[in-house]
């Protein structure tokens, strides 16, 4: 009888962020498809939710004894995916994930940094800690080249670092019928061309929430051109407030999805749109998976990176300037006027990203064989 390998996934799960939940769902699905006997446990802010949603074992991520126990019982600890190793949110967050890796190595466990985003890590002491801890891990895969550059600048200059892609590129969606039923239940009319819009609060935007007003003005113009505007909150309930403010800033009719949906349901919903305008990285990734052309609002280097990799246009950069509603409308018109060309480009590039994302699991399988 084959030995059962115990995997522990340490990521930002159970907080209602659809992007992070999509990563976990994709990881669990792909790991289960590997030719090995595996038992999966995930750290979570809401262990019961995570157990029910993904049919995995789960422990409370803030219970030190439960976390240490889960690490001790595991054979392999996966740190990821998502941007975990950074101090932009807080040094405490960085220390949390580094401590899990360090504990795993003290317990002589295999560790894989799985499709991570890295940075920013700006504190001098923090950079030294990242360098010290990551030198001992077994496998490192990163979801973008920017992260590789950040890691090498910190001093983690290993030759075996692999740049792959976000696991969400491999996610499967609900059926088109189910997605359309959700839209109908939410009172969204189907039939006309639809533009999905996904925004988030971002306190570091140079001109505050001016970007909401500019996006609202662009949506008004698109609505006048016969498009149906649908606000899609990705982090529930956090994105509801700013999505509602955008709707209220519009003079034309717009719709907002108000219930919580699974990553597969949101992926299906994105597939119903003709154009996706988004600040949220994973909404853009979902659009790529469903071959829906996009305009990305840049607030973070990871969004800029994936727009370039996918060869899709940006709708502006809130880090440095005000958004231009007329420019957004013009770019949207170009997408609608040249829809097939955009779809062809996106299909090619999204396919490459999917192949890269699957490399994470090939490397994990190699690690499993060493246990």
Beta strands in 119-190 (DSSP E): 139-142, 162-163
pLDDT tens-digit readout, 82-97:
999 999 889 999 999 9
Domain boundaries, the chain: 5-163, 176-352
Average pLDDT over residues 255-278: 97
Q: Determine what percent of the chain falls in helix, strand and coil, rounding each to the nearest 5.
A: 50, 20, 35
CATH number among 3.40.250.10, 1.25.40.10, 3.40.50.2000, 3.40.50.970, domain 176-352: 3.40.50.2000
Intrachain domains 5-163 and 176-352 with the same fold: yes
In three-state secondary structure terms, 95 is helix
pLDDT tens-digit readout, 109-153: 999 999 999 989 999 999 999 999 999 999 999 999 999 999 999
Say which residue, 191 or 175, is predicted with more confidence: 175
Give the DSSP letter string of 207-231.
TTTHHHHHHHHHHHHHHHTTPEEEE
- Which CATH number is 5-163 given? 3.40.50.2000
Please give, one letter per residue, the 3-state secondary structure of 133-146: HHCCCCEEEECCHH
Residue whose C-alpha is closest to residue 297's, from 288, 284, 310, 309: 284
Cβ contact 188:269 at 8 Å: no
pLDDT grade for 1, boundaries at 50, 70 and 90: low
pTM above 0.85, yes or no: yes
Task: Say how far apart CA 118 and CA 138 lie, in whole Å.
Answer: 17
């Amino acid at each position: 009888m084959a030995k059962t390998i115990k995997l522990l996934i340490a990521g930002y799960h159970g907080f209602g962020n659809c992007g992070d939940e999509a990563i976990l769902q994709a990881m669990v699905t792909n790991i289960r498809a590997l030719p090995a006997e595996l038992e999966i446990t995930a750290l979570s802010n809401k262990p019961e939710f995570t157990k029910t949603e993904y049919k995995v074992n789960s422990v409370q991520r803030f219970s030190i004894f439960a976390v240490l126990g889960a690490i001790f019982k595991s054979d392999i600890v996966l740190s990821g995916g998502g941007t975990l190793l950074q101090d932009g949110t807080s040094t405490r967050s960085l220390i949390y994930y580094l401590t899990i890796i360090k504990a795993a190595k003290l317990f002589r466990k295999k560790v894989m940094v799985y499709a991570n985003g890295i940075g920013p890590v700006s504190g001098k002491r923090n950079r030294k800690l990242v360098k010290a801890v990551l030198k001992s891990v077994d496998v490192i895969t990163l979801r973008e080249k920017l992260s590789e550059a950040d890691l090498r600048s910190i001093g983690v200059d290993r030759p075996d670092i692999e740049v792959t892609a976000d696991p969400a590129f491999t996610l499967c969606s609900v059926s088109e019928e189910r997605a359309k039923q959700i839209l109908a239940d939410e009172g969204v009319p189907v039939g006309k061309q639809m533009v999905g819009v996904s925004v988030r609060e971002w306190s570091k935007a140079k001109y505050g929430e001016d970007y909401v007003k500019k996006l609202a003005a662009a949506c008004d113009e698109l609505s006048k051109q016969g498009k149906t505007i649908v606000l899609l909150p990705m982090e529930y309930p956090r994105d509801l407030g700013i999505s509602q403010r955008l709707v209220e800033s519009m003079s034309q009719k717009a719709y907002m999805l108000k219930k919580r949906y699974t990553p597969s349901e949101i992926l299906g919903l994105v597939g119903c749109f003709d154009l996706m305008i988004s600040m949220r990285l994973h909404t853009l990734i979902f659009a790529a998976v469903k071959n829906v052309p996009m305009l990305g609002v840049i607030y973070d280097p990871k969004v800029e990176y994936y727009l370039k990799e996918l060869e899709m246009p940006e709708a502006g950069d809130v880090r440095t300037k005000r958004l231009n509603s007329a420019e957004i409308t013009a770019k949207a018109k170009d997408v609608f006027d040249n829809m097939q060309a955009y779809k062809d480009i996106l299909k090619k590039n999204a396919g490459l990203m999917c192949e890269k994302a699957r490399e994470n699991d090939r490397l994990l399988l190699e690690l499993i064989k060493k246990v």
